[in-house]
Amino acid sequence: MRGLNASKIVGLTAVLAVSVSLFIFVLMPTFYLISFTLTRWNEVYTDVFANPLIGDANWQQILRYLSFSLRLSLVAVALDFLFGIPLAYFLAYRQFPGKSLLEDIIMLSLVIPTSGFGVATLLTWTGVSGIGALIGRGVVEASYVVPLINVPLLMLLVHVALTFPYVVRTLQGKLEDMSPVFERASRTLGASALTTFRKIVFPLALPALFSGGVLAFARSLGETGATMVVASIHTTAPMAIVRWVSEFKLATAAFLGFLLIITATVAILLVDLLLQKRSIFRIPHWSLASKVGKRVLKVEKRLSGKPKWLKDIASLGAVFFVVILPIMVVVASVGVYWSTDPDTGRAQGSVIYQLFGPSNYFNTLMRATLTSVFVAVISTYIATCIAVPSVYMIKRYRAGRILRYILRVPLIVPSSALGLSVLLLWGPSGLSLTTPGIWLIILTHIVFSVPVVMEPTIAAYEGSGILSYEGVARTLGATPYDAIETVSLPILKRGILAGIILSFTRSLGETGATFLVMGSDVTVPPLVVNMVESLAIPAALFASAYLIALSLVLLMVFRIVVRK
């Protein structure tokens, strides 16, 4: 055959090996719940809809939890927009000292260990050491529901904190990319700043806003770790999965997971495939009735002149209350609770007592840390080995585009659904590869770590003109693999390194999926959840602060690597 030489065979083998790894380690676990539900449809159907004991009670429950989760997520995204849009504007157009710090804080929300953050929020709003310190009691009870919208306050706060970066960052990126000439043109034609926003900037940024909103929505829908901590009497859909697994109601849990994964996949496809970067929303030809139009313009003119800082303060304040304050509270509380319980004055309720006393949480914590680190290192390593060649494959072949979109699903899928998927696939009820424990955790973490390593690598690849450099190397006599090794990998190094750090951080903080597959090999984040459930609050505080500090340090390392 023409051109079939050794190097081509090696190339094809490499592609095959990478594709198989991707399929086995990432795609299969992600979508297994779908195939499980479909292949075992009868079993699932009976359990959910036609249960001999309880009829379709399970289905009713699924509906209840799903609608609760949907409502919660919609409200969270609405708030994300309310505070996130001014924030994105602020970041895109202003330069000020501390701007990178603000961007770091926003990034922190994306990688912070969810259960630790849940503890921090819980304490801030319900405990006496949070805002309660100012008023002598907790601000609200853990179960407090916001009137009118009927959504638990704590859950809402946590979801907004964990999802607003998606809105802010996509919008900020779009605003920074957008040529400033359109705004300038609009101003020279007589439009005030607000009118310009309404008529020009907003329509042009709409695709970015929309995709940011969908990402935030999907993330909120799948949020498990922090939600579990602040839940009190409420239950979201991902939490239900965790509970049902522990009650061995696997089919029902699987069905709910199936529904959630479908929702996440559709969301991703919507965002990426339909909304290409260059699509422009055309404003339909409705113009406001003349008098109304005039008034709107006048109002916009007046508001444009008013001090802009009003809305900026509101957004910045939101970030403070929702992200910074809880972290400050948790760290401070460790100090407050350190040697004595401030409520009783006795040593029993103190951090030291719980860590080193009879319950000896310190031991447990150290063991869990070892487990966490081990898992993070191994899963990140394997994920990198799969991810880097995958990036090449994605960039070289046309089909790679679809693959890239599909590989974003593991990032958005509810973590508990992912855990269940892995459990059913590799665990005792499935292929029986291994039992719940450290190796199952590693297998689970690989699933989301591969996309996490891939994204910055792809970004580095796209930004660097690698293909032309490789071309140059080859005209000078290098074989394709020499070219990759000596030219491209060094260029990609930074992107890969960034991905590795992110993956490591994420693995350390992962809660929801790990919970289901860990067996007796506990990592730190689920340990925090356990501590809260056993009401060992001071120990939970310590562990949370510890986790958060760890992720802060890793984030700083990440920033240094990326900045250079």
Partner 1 sequence: MPEVTLKNVSKAFANGRIVAVDKVDLHVMDREYFSLIGPSGCGKTTTLRMIAGLVEPDEGEVYIGERLVTDLPPEDRDIGYVFQQYALFPNMDVWDNVTYGPTVKAWEKKKREKIGREMLQMVRLYDRADAMPQELSGGMMQRVALSRALAAGAELLLLDEPLGALDAKIRNELRYEIRKLVKDLRLTAVHVTHDQAEAMAISDRIAVMRKGRILQVGTPYDLYMNPKQIFIANFIGESNFLEGKVNQIEDDRAQINLRGDLEVESSNLKVVKKGERAVLAVRPEAFEIAEKKQKLVNALAGVIERIRFEGTDIRYEIRLTNDDSIVVVRPSLGGKWFEETDKVTVGFSPEKSHLFKYPKKGLTAELELE
Of residues 14 and 303, the one with the C-beta less far from partner 1: 303
3-state secondary structure of 234: coil
Distance between CA atoms of residues 534 and 544, nearest Å: 15
Exposure on the CB side of residue 273, measured as CA atoms within 13 A: 13
DSSP classification of residue 92: H
CB of 275 to partner 1, least distance (A): 15
CB of 278 to partner 1, least distance (A): 9
Cβ neighbourhood burial of 274 (10 Å; 0-12, 13-18, 19+): exposed
Q: Which residue has the tokens 């921090």?
A: 120
Kindly list the residues in this chain that would bind partner 1 in the complex (CB under 8 A). Answer: 179, 181-182, 184-192, 195, 199-200, 203-204, 280-283, 285, 287, 290, 293-294, 297-298
What is the secondary structure of 17-34 as a DSSP string? HHHHHIIIIIIHHHHHHH
CB of 241 to partner 1, least distance (A): 42
Distance between CA atoms of residues 397 and 11, nearest Å: 13
Of residues 6 and 280, the one with the C-beta less far from partner 1: 280
Of residues 99 and 298, the one with the C-beta less far from partner 1: 298
Of residues 85 and 200, the one with the C-beta less far from partner 1: 200
Nearest to 506 by CA among 460, 455, 445, 438: 445
CB of 563 to partner 1, least distance (A): 21
CB of 179 to partner 1, least distance (A): 7
CB of 475 to partner 1, least distance (A): 34
Q: Which two tokens stand for residue 74?
A: 């919609």
3-state secondary structure of 145: strand
CB of 454 to partner 1, least distance (A): 32
Q: Which two tokens stand for residue 310?
A: 């009003």
Q: Which two tokens stand for residue 355?
A: 């860590």
DSSP classification of residue 51: B
Of residues 185 and 467, the one with the C-beta less far from partner 1: 185
Of residues 69 and 186, the one with the C-beta less far from partner 1: 186
CB of 24 to partner 1, least distance (A): 45
CB of 206 to partner 1, least distance (A): 9
CB of 154 to partner 1, least distance (A): 40
Backbone angles phi, psi at 152, to 5 degrees: -65, 135
Of residues 180 and 465, the one with the C-beta less far from partner 1: 180
CB of 186 to partner 1, least distance (A): 7
Using an 8 Å Cβ cutoff, are 115 and 528 in contact? Answer: yes
Cβ neighbourhood burial of 285 (10 Å; 0-12, 13-18, 19+): exposed
Of residues 204 and 352, the one with the C-beta less far from partner 1: 204
Of residues 185 and 266, the one with the C-beta less far from partner 1: 185
What is the secondary structure of 264-279 as a DSSP string? HHHHHHIIIIIS-TT-
Listed in sequence order, the DSSP H helices in 40-180 are: 41-49, 57-93, 99-111, 114-126, 132-135, 153-177
Cβ neighbourhood burial of 319 (10 Å; 0-12, 13-18, 19+): buried
Distance between CA atoms of residues 370 and 364, nearest Å: 10
Nearest to 140 by CA among 125, 155, 151: 125
Distance between CA atoms of residues 301 and 192, nearest Å: 5
CB of 192 to partner 1, least distance (A): 6
Of residues 96 and 248, the one with the C-beta less far from partner 1: 96
**Single-letter residue type at 123:** L
Residues in the chain: 564
Of residues 200 and 516, the one with the C-beta less far from partner 1: 200
Of residues 195 and 523, the one with the C-beta less far from partner 1: 195
CB of 90 to partner 1, least distance (A): 20
Using an 8 Å Cβ cutoff, are 456 and 505 in contact? Answer: no
Of residues 204 and 373, the one with the C-beta less far from partner 1: 204
Close Cβ partners of 5 (under 8 Å, ≥ 6 residues apart): none
Distance between CA atoms of residues 200 and 207, nearest Å: 13
